[in-house]
Amino acid sequence: MRRTQTVLAAMRYAFLAVLGLALVLPFVAFALNAFSRQWFYPQLIPKTWSLEAWRRIFSARSQVPQALFNSVVIALTVTLVSIAIGLPAARSLGMYRFRGKRLVEFLIFLPTMVPPLTVGMGLSLNFLRIGLGGTMLGVGLVHLVPVMPYVVLTLSGVFANYNAEYEEQARTLGAGPLEVLRYVTLPAVFPGVVVAGLFAFLISWSQYILTFLIGAGRIITMPLLLFSSIPGGDNPNIAAQSLLFVGPALLILLLTSRYLSGEEAAVQGFGRL
């Protein structure tokens, strides 16, 4: 019995090691390319190291700083707006039963079933008519289309297990609506809000088709700049941009990783009450 458990534990650790190696190797390749001058097969590591790629992407003529700024502003704004809209919607879907609830859920999740190209082509014409085409506001609004279903889905699951009796007890003790929201509701659902915000940021951050169609070539983000650089074949430049593209997403993922565990999220959420 003990031998079987040892073998199973060894297999589990081996699987995790292989999985971790598969996840890390692409980033190692990006890092080596980004700091190399010439790296050709069959060289195991580059023979010549250089910061030329980083100097180019941060030069005065480069579009990378502006694209990075646009991506961060759009993704953070979309995250905040989607949570502000998704919280009341998710609360209604998660805590209450009403006629037509299934239809409402279907309509909310419908954008996930429609190809982004179809959504972008349909909205681009309307956005151009009302002056939102080629603007940061227009790009941010269209990013809400794929983001909102994931935010509402995540938060509705949180509210499905939410105990509203805490709010009733707070009101009984004299707490007003804003105090109940600040000291009871938000602390209890905070881990779920963090996870929903993570989904919102990653989805908005990685949008290419919708940004391309609605941005009309005026709003340049990191995905657009990265895709346009690939045909050039400049591996160090592509690798450096790729690291900049995945860097903020990885940072946010690391900062919010503790909330991705449902057990710990529940403990931290209700532990504040």
Enclosing H/E stretch for 36:
strand 36-38
- The Cα–Cα gap between 90 and 152 comes to 5
What residue type is 240 in one-letter code?
A: A
- Per-residue pLDDT, averaged over 46-72, amounts to 86
**pLDDT one-digit tens code per residue, 83-117:** 999 999 898 888 888 888 888 888 888 888 888 88
- Integer-rounded Cα radius of gyration of the chain: 23
Query: pLDDT band at residue 8, thresholds of 50, 70 and 90?
Result: confident
Query: pLDDT band at residue 74, thresholds of 50, 70 and 90?
Result: very high
Query: Does position 70 have pLDDT exceeding 90, yes or no?
Result: yes
Query: Does position 271 have pLDDT exceeding 70, yes or no?
Result: no
Contact 159, 189 (CB under 8 A): yes
- The Cα–Cα gap between 197 and 79 comes to 6
Cα diameter, the chain: 73
Q: Which residue has the higher pLDDT, 23 or 244?
A: 244
CA distances from 265 to 91, 128, 186, 228 (A): 18, 43, 13, 40
> What single DSSP character describes residue 183?
I
> What single DSSP character describes residue 197?
H
Task: Give the residues across from 48 on adjacent strands.
Answer: 38
- The Cα–Cα gap between 268 and 248 comes to 25
Contact 109, 145 (CB under 8 A): no
Average pLDDT of the chain is 83
- What DSSP line would sit under 213-268, residue for residue? HHHTTTS--HHHHHHHHGGGT-HHHHHHHHHHHHHHHHHHHHHTGGGGSHHHHHHH
- The Cα–Cα gap between 237 and 216 comes to 24
Give the per-residue pLDDT at 1: 64
CB neighbour list of residue 204: distance below 8 Å, 6 or more residues apart: 74, 75, 78, 79, 143, 147
Q: What is the separation, in whole angstroms, between the first and last Cα of the chain?
A: 44
> Nearest CA to 263 among 253, 255, 271?
271
Whose structure tokens read 């915000």?
Answer: 197
Q: Is the dihedral of CA 165, 167, 172, 173 positive or negative?
A: positive
- Per-residue pLDDT, averaged over 131-135, amounts to 88
Domains and CATH numbers, the chain: 1-50 (no CATH), 61-270 (1.10.3720.10)
Q: Which residue has the higher pLDDT, 264 or 36?
A: 36
- The Cα–Cα gap between 258 and 273 comes to 19
- The Cα–Cα gap between 77 and 133 comes to 18
